[in-house]
Chains A and B, each alone.
Chain A
Amino acid sequence: MSNAARRIFAATSLSCALILSAASAMAAPADTKASVEPEESNTLTIDPPKPTWFFVDGGWDSPGTSIFDGDSGKMKGMVETRRLADMAIDPAGKYYYVAETIWSKGDRGTRQDMVTVYDSSTLNLVTEITMPGRLLIGSRKNNFIVSDDGKTAYVYDFSPTSGVNIVDLTKRKLVSAIELPGCASMMPNPGVGFSALCSDGSLATVAVKGTKANITHGAPFFDATNDPIFDNFAYDRKKKETTFLTYTGQIYTAKMGAVPTVSAPFSLQAAAGVRVGDTKPLDLNWFPGGRQPMALHRPTGQLFVLMHKGEYWSHKEAGTEVWQVDLASQKVVKRFTLKEPMGNIEVSQTDKPLLFMNDEKKNGLILDVATGEEKHKIENAGAGIITVLEPS
């Protein structure tokens, strides 16, 4: 240590000591004279999940899922999610479920995969449900889904054989681990089990009875190689329907059931009076893109899609506009221009819907759908995917 460094160190130590001694010397007389009640540390609780709240995953660099109130733009709390964890909300609003993977020695040692249960009021750990494994990927909404009645969770596994863990959330234990070759990206199928997209362009339906699962495939309806459906599609519990969007901009709706039926698609670009999206190179057009490129306002059937200008195979590019599609009339009814490109989008399921978007720099943005007004900007909101409370 140099002489100068020694002097600085000595001065710093001395000033610390002075502050400490002054504080202890002053504490007693000040309290007695002003009769100030000494404070005690405590911990707050939080309301059950509300339709105006947005749950924003921190992304690759930041663990934790922050809860923001869309009206005020304020943070309400945080659910513990580590890197590549998936979160789901209990439909009854009592719990937050997190499918996650940890190792006994940080990044090495014994691997442990589990569904972790948190109380939605205290945000405290309730229990852990052990399971055989899960895929490590992140930014996927449909690798961990909860059935409409809240009783069963399905966790996608890839180790590297493709399968699904079926978890009983009432008894809080693993029911079975089934193989699901060639399919992933799940959606609930009430009264049946679940359905999933497959590499042959079909929808597989998995009828679950106890520990047994029976897999059936519908007819192929999309081209998984040349025009894939984005993994982050949206399921509607009330209508028991799923809305799909492909890289070129084709929109499909699938009605769930023992044998799901898939609608004829329509073009998102044609719905806006723009040329239909094509897979050919050198064809500059508007395309959907991002990590979570679409959000469905279920009560009104409005689909919000992040759009950018570019060539095909630019499906991860952030959106410079949001297109609002009315699914019933198959028309783009509004286009919102964004000041900064955004990679993820979600919409509150409220009468006055709010859009929440974020980018890779973790900036969050809340827009009012009715007016297009920018309500709040939130720094460090998180770069990961966004979740909202869905109507039951």
Chain B
Amino acid sequence: MKKFNADAMGETLLRKLAGGSSRRSILSRLGAALVAAPVFPLLPVSRAEAAKPDRSPETKTYFARTAQTKDDTKCDYWRYCAIDGALCTCCGGGIHSCPPGAEPSPVSWVGTCINPDDGKAYLIAYRDCCGKPACGQCGCDNTDRETQLYMPQLNNDVIWCFGTSSMEYHCSTAVLVGAAS
């Protein structure tokens, strides 16, 4: 089985973004923080990976047992297991697309959600779309494995509009990053 390292993946993504972005300073600062932080935690997926994943219904959270894969404008869509905010799919955007005029944040919090169609876990990046007033449509607040501020990358209350031209929060997307196991 291929080893999954979410921290390394985060850094690779950030480096790619930093290379193609004019906002290098903030991204390089974040990159430095990820590398330098002595106690920067491993994501739960990396820890869970040590044990053989068990996706039986008894080990699934309430959200995972009741999630669906057909309608991404509903709070129970499988990728939204740890989303907080307005769904961009209800605001003129898409599952990984910002509505017109809004700007995706290059950094985000993450969730590990199970797709009920194949029973596998995937890493989801909840990237905020920024620069317009709060959309107000389809407000959701799902909290599977959502933690507190001392683990900010797993906290869904932070306004993640860093490195964007405006820090005003508009809505949230759920970008598929990769398989978590």
Contact = CB atoms under 8 A, between A and B. Distances in A.
A230 B152 contact: no
Interface stretch (A260-268, A308-316, A351-359): A308-316
Given A108-B166, A159-B162, A281-B62, A224 B151 contact: yes
A162 B41 contact: no
Interface string B3-43: 00000000000000000000000100110110011111100
A326 to B, nearest CB: 26
B107 interface: yes
B152 A158 contact: yes
Given A158-B158, A224-B41, A316-B141, A184 B166 contact: no
Contacts of B131: 107-108
B40 A199 contact: yes
B177 interface: no
A183 B62 contact: no
A58 to B, nearest CB: 14
Contact of A225 (B38, B41, B165): B41
A162 B33 contact: yes
B interface SS class: loop
Interface stretch (B71-79, B87-95, B119-127, B142-150): B142-150
Q: How many of chain A's residues touch chain B, expressed as a range? A: 35 or more
Contacts, number: 130
Contacts of A138: 157
A225 B149 contact: no
A251 B88 CA distance: 38
B107 A84 contact: no
A227 B88 CA distance: 30
Q: How many of chain B's residues touch chain A, expressed as a range? A: 35 or more
Interface string A134-175: 011111100100000000000010111110000000000000
A229 B150 CA distance: 10
Given A158-B152, A182-B38, A316-B141, A311 B61 contact: yes
A370 interface: no
Contact of A316 (B143, B145, B149, B159): B143
A140 B150 contact: no
B33 A200 contact: no
A236 interface: no
Contacts of A160: 26, 29-30, 33, 107, 152, 162
A184 B144 contact: no
B178 interface: no
Closest 5 CB pairs of A and B: A181-B37, A182-B39, A107-B168, A136-B159, A199-B41
7 contacts: A107-B167, A108-B131, A136-B167, A159-B29, A160-B107, A184-B150, A312-B61
